[in-house]
Structures are given as C-alpha cells and as structure tokens.
Amino acid sequence: MLKHDDTPIENAQIHDDKEDIASNDSGNRPFVDVLQSNLSRRKVLAGGAVAAAAGFFTPAASASLRGLGRTENIGRGNDRINREMVGFKPVAIEDVLDTRMPTISEDYEYQVLIPWGTPIQPGVTNEYAGDPSTRPTSEEAALQVGIGHDGMWFFPIDLPSAQRYGRRYRARSDEGMLCINHEFGGNFHVLGKGSPESLEDVRLSQHVHGVSVVRIKEHFDGWKVEVSDAARRITVNTPVQFSGPAASSPLLQNPAGNMPQGTVNNCGSGPTPWGTYLTCEENFNGYFGSSTLDSDGFNAIRTEEQSRYGFDFDGFGYGWYFFDERFDLTNPDYVNEQNRFGWIVEIDPFDGSQTPTKRTALGRFKHEAIAIAESSNGRIAAYMGDDQRFDYCYKYVSTNPWQESIELGLSPLDDGKLYVARYNDDGTGEWLELTIENPLLAERFADQAELLIYARVAADLLGATPMDRPEWTTIGKDGEVYWTLTNNSQRTVANAANPQAPNSDGHIIKTVDADDHLGTTFSWEIYLLAAETRGTEGVFTDPDLAWADGESRLFIGTDGGQPDGLQDQLTVIDTSKDVPEPKRLLVGVNSDEVTGFTCTPDRRTAFVNLQHPGNGNPASTNFPALPDGFTVPRDATLVLRRKNGAIIGS
Ligand code: FEO
Ligand code: CA
Ligand code: CA
Ligand code: CA
C-alpha cells in the first residue's frame, strides 16, 4: 500500500500510516553490529557463499505448476529468439514524460482489461466508467469487477483436462478464468465522500472489495470478458467456511450465531498445484471499529490479541461499523467476528458454487501473499509474509504428498506444520514450529486452534525475527525463495537480515531451504538493497510484488514513492547474474501501485495491475481514460505482450 506518495487525496491516509504501524512489542530484536552485517552483504552482492549453496538445490518446478503457467516454455517455432534472459529495451528515466498514463518498454505493448466497474457477465449489468456524478448501486457493484486490483492468477480454461491428461497436455493460452483480488478502495474513491451515511453506502464499499473470478478470452482485437457460470464476485458478505485445526474453535463463533461470511482486504495471492486460487487477507483490522466509544476510549477494552493485530476504535476510517454490526468491535453479539479474518482463503476458479474455504492451518496474520513449492516427494511448502513493520516470515509444510491428499478428498492445506523464521546473523536460519506441543506455547494457549488464531502472539514467544514488512514470496529456478521487504521507516537499530535503520527503500532476501523445502533450517542472504539502485538507470524502491518465472527472471512490482520522477514500476531481474541489474519494463501512473502478476501457460501474455491510480483523484490521473481532469481513475489490469511475440520479460 502507499506511503510517501506524492499526490495526496483526503482519504489517502486510510491506508497510509495506520497499516504500517508496528504492533509487535515482543522485543524480538536480535541485534548485531551494523558494520558486520554490511560487510557480509557486500560479499553476497559479489556472489558469496550462500549463492553457491543454492546450486546444490533440487529444482522444485513441477508438472502441475507448469500447467498453471509458472514454468512452461512452449515455443511456437517462429519467434525471434531473444538472446538475453532479460533482453528488452528498458524504460529509461528520461522516457517517463507524462505519468498520467503508463509508460512501457518500446519492445512491449499493453491493453487495458477489466477496470473497476466492468460487468463480470457482459450485458448483465451496467458498467461503471468513472462518471464522478454517479456511482454504482451496491447491487450493481456485486456484479462488477471490484476496485483495488492486486494479486491474481490465470487458470487456463482447459486446466481441469490438462490435469487429467498430465504433462503432455498443453493448456490453452488464449482463454481462462482470471481470479483477481480487490484489496481496497478508499471512501472518496468509491463513495465520493469520506464516510458512509447509510447501510447502502457501506454495502457499496463492501461490494467493491473482495475477489472477482472472470472468464477472459483473446480475440483478434484483444482480450475480452466472456459469459461463464463459474464467473463470480466474492465479497465480505459471501458465505464462506472454515477448515483445518481451528475450524470448530469457539473463538470463531459469535453469540449471534451468524454463519461465516466473506473475505476482505485481499492482497497478494498464489495458485495451488491442484488448480485452485489462494487469496490472502491482509489489513482486515482496518474495517473494524467501535461505534460506542466511551470516555475511556476503545483502548480501555482492547485485549492483548486485539493490540497485536492492530485493532483500533476507528479502524482505517471505512466506517462500516456504524451500519453493519458484524464490524463493531464493541457489539457483544459479534465478539469473535474479528477472528474470522486474517486467513488464506481457497477458491475454485472453475466452480461458481464452491464455498470459499478459510484454511486455518496456515495461521492468522496479515497475509500478504503465498508461494507454494513442491518437494520431490510431493509434499508442499508454502512461504508467506506477514506485512507489518517488525512482523515475520512464515512457512507451512503439508504432512502428506498433495496428490495423495487430493485423491482422498482431503486438503493438503489442512494437515501440516506452521513455522516462523528466525534469521541468524551468520546467514543461517531456523524454522520454529508453531505447535501446542511446545510447552512454552501450551502455557499460553488452550489448544492448537487458539494458537493458530493468534499466530502472531505465538511467533513472538518463539523469538522469531522481526522484519522490515514482509510482502510477496516467490520460488526461483533452483527452489530458492525471494522475499520482498518493502521498507521500515521505524527501524532504529539494524540487524543482519534487516541491515538498514531506518530502511526507507526496502530490500529483497533470498532463502534456500534445507532438505528440499521440508527442513527446519535454511540459509539466507540479502539479495538486493533497493537503496543501492539509487543513482543507476535501474533505480527502484519499495519492492512489493515478486514473481519468478521458473527460468531466471524475477519480476518485481513496487509500492511507494519512486525516485527521479518515476512512478511505481515493474522491473525484471536476471537472477542468474552475479549482480542484480534491474530492467524497467513498465512505469505506472501517478500515485498508483504496480501489483499482481500472472502469465498464460506459454508466457507470451502477462497480466499486471495498476492499483489505486491517482489515489482516486481525477486531478492526478484519469487512467484508464485519457487525461481529462474529470473522470474518476479506475484500478485496472494491463495485458502485456512483447511485440515480437517472445516470452514475457525477455
Ligand atoms: Fe497489500 Fe502489503 O500490501
Ligand atoms: Ca498501494
Ligand atoms: Ca506494500
Ligand atoms: Ca503488497
């Protein structure tokens, strides 16, 4: 989300300061000498010991993930070969002239797809095209693409057949189900005013949040939305279910007896090897508040757990709790509604009637995104960041090979172990298990369910390493994991894994797990300090989105004020090179964020999002409309293609 953005609008602060305020008072700060950590980092940047260790690693790319567009490399036979892994002509700083519209490498072209307000079933409902004098009704919004485009994934339309027929089946690259997260939209952007004045206003705000599942198809004149039974909107009011160890916990039940509903603040995402979509609930706390603030203020009733998860009397200013009692923290009938958010939710992209399922074994925190690696024996490891200042990196490992579980009708995400990372100063690390069998945790929690619901508190007790806002994770060519740490302006003392204080530009850490993703130890290095790109043509800061293509391209999207007159950008790095050399593929528009990335299986088409263009301010940009100073800017997906038809990023 935005920080130090240059185009303020009244509601920008909804997502500005509050999401990033640290709520970790655990004192987990393994400090080391700053000079020492800087020295080890320089060695690493020059191609150090940990990079060599990665070479011993078994490639984790799997047939199933190939089918999902991660690693497939299908040649059409007549493409121009791009010799370099990342060979396109980058956008130069001086090429960025008018940031009211995107700027793309001259070797690439883009098409705007599914801006906020696009009907997910063509012809069924009105489109909202950015007229500032009208807004969709909440009913219309529930049938349109939402706002706050973030994590997404393209599922080829014939993926179910591809999975049935195995590796030799080439899944289609011209049609698929696109699952896309709608992380947030501030009240000024969505409602045209700072606060809701009715339940209808709240419902409109709620219905632009959530997830869209849209069928899209490539025509001779570009990609378009298609009619589909599987297309759907999932909002904070959609029925959902809980699964895994905490599913039947009383901490997920309310005296009101209301059934579980909804998902919110859906940030990053990831696909599973079995062809489903995982959406990650991040800043869910911001939608809750207290309608009955007494003279002592909400703080007087705030529990330790509420503090740790950042609940506050006024949330991020959405005001839902004034009209929707589920979000009122002081309503005793809904005392546990807050615990129903902060999960990873599984969605079937091909079955519009499936009930989205919250996988409690993955723990409750501010889930940024998820990247799943497959070990050689078929068990899976899921790498996940908790995005807040001084929060942690997590890993989940399934007990059984995923195919076995799926064949038995069980979820590999319901039975496994959850770990949190401790980064040692010497480039090693440990995965600390979050289990009730640990006496330290058994003393604090009644059972594994409570432990998972308050996973942050459990991680504090284990001495996890507080990080500079862990955002996305992605699995590289040799099974190495890249973690974006976006920034941390509040860090006052550096440690080896977070070597800058304050850390205003962010960094990327690379970890290599011991034992084929299944172990409890890992090695790590600082892959890149964004501050070191300053003064170079490839400059970027605030890394957030990360996606590795299974060869050696690493795509990074940024979220924060960029230097040198740039806006947020998409940059590509060839990780096979000793020194990272970021190449700028795309620059977004004023005050947006570049986030979410997915490709077709042939990797000739990519999708990337421009989130909150202009922070909703028509004086800043009218994207995707051409500049007119009037039309409300709308979040949208860009379809990217290399003009010569070659693989994206090449
Ligand atoms: Fe939703 Fe941490 O970005
Ligand atoms: Ca943002
Ligand atoms: Ca961010
Ligand atoms: Ca993010």
Residues 250-287: pLDDT tens digits? Answer: 999 999 999 999 999 999 999 999 999 999 999 999 99
For position 338, what pLDDT does the model report?
98
For position 297, what pLDDT does the model report?
52
20 lines ligand 1 (CB under 6 A): no
Least confident range from 124-138, 358-372, 565-579: namely 124-138
pLDDT at 49 over 60: no
368 lines ligand 1 (CB under 6 A): yes
Rounded to the nearest angstrom, the distance between the alpha carbon of 315 and the centre of ligand 4 is 19
Confidence bin at 612 (pLDDT 50/70/90): very high
Q: HSE on the CB side for 409, CA within 13 Å? A: 0
pLDDT at 329 over 70: yes
Identify which of 183, 150, 205, 342 has the alpha carbon closest to the alpha carbon of residue 265.
Answer: 183
For position 6, what pLDDT does the model report?
35
624 three-class SS: coil
14 lines ligand 1 (CB under 6 A): no
For position 164, what pLDDT does the model report?
76
How confident is the prediction for the chain on average, in pLDDT? Answer: 89
Global confidence as pTM? 0.90
Least confident range from 11-25, 335-349, 443-457: namely 11-25
470-492: average pLDDT: 98
Percentage of the residues of the chain whose pLDDT score is greater than 70: 86
For position 51, what pLDDT does the model report?
28
Q: For residue 387, which atom of ligand 1 is closest to its CA?
A: 2
pLDDT at 533 over 50: yes
* Residue 230: other Cβ atoms inside 10 A: 17
471 lines ligand 1 (CB under 6 A): yes
558-569: average pLDDT: 97
183 lines ligand 1 (CB under 6 A): yes
For position 82, what pLDDT does the model report?
59
Tell me which residue has its CA closest to atom 3 in ligand 1.
Answer: 1
Rounded to the nearest angstrom, the distance between the alpha carbon of 486 and the centre of ligand 3 is 6
Per-residue pLDDT tens digits for 372-422? 999 999 999 999 999 999 999 999 999 999 999 999 999 999 999 999 999
The answer to whether the beta carbons of residues 271 and 155 sit under 8 Å apart is: yes
pLDDT at 53 over 50: no
d(CA 242, CA 255): 17
391 lines ligand 1 (CB under 6 A): no
Confidence bin at 291 (pLDDT 50/70/90): confident
Q: For residue 469, which atom of ligand 1 is closest to its CA?
A: 2
635 lines ligand 1 (CB under 6 A): no
d(CA 208, CA 145): 7
Percentage of the residues of the chain whose pLDDT score is greater than 90: 81
Rounded to the nearest angstrom, the distance between the alpha carbon of 181 and the centre of ligand 4 is 11
Q: For residue 385, which atom of ligand 1 is closest to its CA?
A: 2
539-567: average pLDDT: 97
Tell me which residue has its CA closest to atom 1 in ligand 1.
Answer: 267
Which positions ≥6 away from 325 have C-beta within 8 Å? 256, 331, 333, 334
131-139: average pLDDT: 96
For position 20, what pLDDT does the model report?
61
